[in-house]
Amino acid sequence: PYPANWEASYIDLTTAIVDPYERVWLGSHPRQSGRKNWVFDFRTSPPDTFEWEPSARQDPGTCFDDLLTGVTSWDIDSQGYLWVGAHNGAYYTQAGIPDDLNSLHFVCVYDLPVGQSVNAVHVDADDNKWFGTDDGVAVMDKNFTWAHVFKTSDAEENRSGLASNSVTSITSNPETGDIWIGTTDGLSRLQSPYVNRAGGLRDLKPYPNPFAADGAHRMFINHQDLGGVFD
Task: Give the length of the chain.
Answer: 231
For the ranges 6-15, 77-86, 107-116, 194-203, the lowest mean pLDDT is seen at 6-15
pLDDT for residue 229: 40
Residues sharing a CB contact under 8 Å with residue 166, sequence separation 6 or more, in sequence order: 119, 134, 135, 183, 184, 185
- DSSP secondary structure string for all residues of 116-148: S-EEEEEE-TT--EEEEETTEEEEE-TTS-EEE
| 225: pLDDT strictly greater than 60 | no
3-state secondary structure of 111: coil
Q: What pLDDT digit, counting tens, does each position of 60-102 carry?
A: 555 655 556 678 898 999 888 889 898 888 988 877 888 887 7
Residues sharing a CB contact under 8 Å with residue 21, sequence separation 6 or more, in sequence order: 41, 43, 97, 99, 218
Q: What's the average model confidence in pLDDT over 18-40? A: 75
168 burial (CB, 10 Å; 0-12 / 13-18 / 19+) is middle
Q: What's the average model confidence in pLDDT over 22-27? A: 84
Which range, 37-46, 107-116, 222-231, has the best average confidence (pLDDT)? 107-116
CA distances from residue 202 to 43, 76, 82, 143 in whole angstroms, order as listed: 32, 21, 24, 19
pLDDT for residue 3: 52
* Element of type H or E holding 30: helix 30-33
Q: Does this model's pTM top 0.85?
A: no
